C-alpha cells in the first residue's frame, strides 16, 4: 500500500470540523471511531495531527454484514493487538443491539466514575465524540443509537454538516460530526479504495480508474463475483473488450461498443448499492 499519489481532498467544512472538534476536547470523554469493514485500513482516519488521540477510543466496524469476514477479522485482530477496543455492528436492521458498545464505554469510564462515586457524586453523563470518514454509516449508527432520525443519512459523502450533541436512552451523550478525511491522500491504493466505497466524491478521481480498480479487486480476490455479475472469468488485458462484455451484460452497449461512462457508473453503483457483497479490499499482509 505504498503507491504514492497526491490527491488533495480537504473541503472547507472538513477544516472547520477539525477546528470545532478541538474546541470540544475538554468536554469529550470517549471517541467512537467508525470504520468501514470492507476497507478497515483505508477508512481509518490517518490522524497525523493527533486529534484527540489521548482520549479512550472504540473502533466500530460498520457494514460488517457486507465484508469478507475472514479478511476483515484479520484486521480486527491487528487493531486489538494494538490496544483498541473493537465492536462489530450490522446497521442494516432497524433494531441494533448496542449492549456490547455501551458496556465497553462504561468500562473505559469506570475509574472516573468510581472517583465521582467515592466523593458521593452520581455517575457523569458520558460525552462521546462520533468520528469517521464520509459514508461509513456514522449517521445511521447515531439514529439507531438514539432511536430517532436525528442525523441526516445518505449514501454519499458530505451529508452531515454541523456538530450536534444528541441524547440517548443510555448514560451516553453523542457528538455527531461531519465526515472528515486527512488533508492529503498519499497512497493511490487508499484513494481508490475510498472512492470505490463512495467515501470521496466521484469527481475527485477519474470514474474509469475507480471502476477498473473495483474490477481488479474482484478479479484478484473474488473471481466468482466477477463471473456472476459481469460474465467475466478474468480480466483481459484489452480494457475495451472487458467493458464491451460488461456493457452487453448491463445493457450499456450500442452501435458495436460499450458506453464507457455508463458501464463505469454501473460498476461503482454495484458496490454503492450493496449489490456486490462479501468483499474486503484492504488485505492484512504485514
- Say which CATH number the domain at 231 has: 1.10.1580.10
At residue 97, the pLDDT reads 87
- Percent of the chain at pLDDT > 90 equals 57
**Number of domains within the chain:** 2
Residues 140 and 218 both lie in one domain = no
Whether residue 7 has pLDDT greater than 60: no
d(CA 146, CA 144): 6
- Asked, for residue 170, whether it belongs to a domain, the answer is yes
Residues 157 and 235 both lie in one domain = no
Residues 153 and 258 both lie in one domain = no
pTM of the shown model: 0.86
Q: Kindly state the average pLDDT of the residues 227-248.
A: 91
Return the beta strands (E) in the chain as ranges.
Answer: 4-8, 30-36, 57-62, 85-88, 126-132, 164-167, 172-176, 184-187, 253-254, 257-258
Residues 51 and 167 both lie in one domain = yes
Residues 125 and 231 both lie in one domain = no
- Asked, for residue 201, whether it belongs to a domain, the answer is no
Q: Kindly state the average pLDDT of the residues 252-260.
A: 91
Could you list the residue range(s) of the whole structural domain that residue 238 is in?
Answer: 206-272
Residues 134 and 210 both lie in one domain = no
The sign of the torsion formed by the CA atoms of 245, 249, 250, 254 equals positive
Residues 143 and 23 both lie in one domain = yes
d(CA 21, CA 8): 21
Q: Which residues contact 72 (CB under 8 A, 6 or more apart)?
A: 37, 38, 40, 61, 64, 280
At residue 236, the pLDDT reads 79
pLDDT, one tens digit per residue, over 26-77 is 889 999 999 999 999 999 987 644 556 788 999 999 999 999 999 999 999 9
Q: Kindly state the average pLDDT of the residues 133-138.
A: 87
pLDDT band at residue 18 under the 50/70/90 scheme: confident
Amino acid at each position: 500500500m505504498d503507491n504514492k499519489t497526491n490527491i488533495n481532498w480537504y473541503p472547507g467544512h472538513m477544516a472547520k470540523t477539525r477546528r470545532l472538534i478541538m474546541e470540544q476536547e475538554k468536554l469529550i470523554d470517549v471517541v467512537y471511531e467508525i470504520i468501514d469493514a470492507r476497507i478497515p485500513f483505508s477508512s481509518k482516519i490517518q490522524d497525523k495531527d493527533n486529534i484527540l488521540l489521548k482520549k479512550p477510543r472504540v473502533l466500530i466496524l460498520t457494514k460488517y454484514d457486507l465484508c469478507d469476514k475472514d479478511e476483515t477479522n484479520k484486521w480486527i485482530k491487528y487493531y486489538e493487538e494494538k490496544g483498541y477496543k473493537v465492536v462489530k455492528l450490522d446497521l442494516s436492521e432497524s433494531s441494533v443491539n448496542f449492549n456490547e458498545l455501551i458496556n465497553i464505554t462504561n468500562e473505559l469510564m469506570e475509574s472516573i466514575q468510581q472517583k465521582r462515586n467515592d466523593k458521593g457524586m452520581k455517575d457523569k453523563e458520558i460525552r462521546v465524540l462520533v468520528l469517521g470518514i464520509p459514508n461509513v454509516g456514522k449517521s445511521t449508527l447515531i439514529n439507531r443509537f438514539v432511536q430517532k432520525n436525528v442525523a441526516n443519512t445518505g449514501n454519499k459523502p458530505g451529508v452531515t454538516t454541523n456538530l450536534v450533541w444528541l441524547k440517548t436512552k443510555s448514560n451516553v451523550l453523542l457528538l455527531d460530526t461531519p465526515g472528515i478525511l486527512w488533508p492529503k491522500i498519499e497512497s493511490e491504493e487508499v484513494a481508490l479504495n475510498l472512492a470505490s466505497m463512495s467515501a470521496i466524491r466521484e469527481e475527485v478521481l477519474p470514474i474509469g480508474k475507480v471502476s477498473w480498480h473495483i474490477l481488479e479487486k474482484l478479479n484478484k480476490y473474488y473471481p466468482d463475483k466477477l463471473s456472476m455479475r459481469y460474465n467475466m472469468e478474468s480480466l483481459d488485458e484489452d480494457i475495451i473488450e472487458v467493458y464491451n462484455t460488461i456493457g452487453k451484460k448491463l445493457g450499456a452497449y450500442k452501435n458495436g461498443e460499450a458506453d464507457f461512462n455508463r458501464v463505469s457508473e454501473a460498476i461503482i453503483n454495484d458496490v454503492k448499492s450493496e449489490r456486490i457483497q462479501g468483499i474486503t479490499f484492504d488485505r492484512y499482509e504485514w
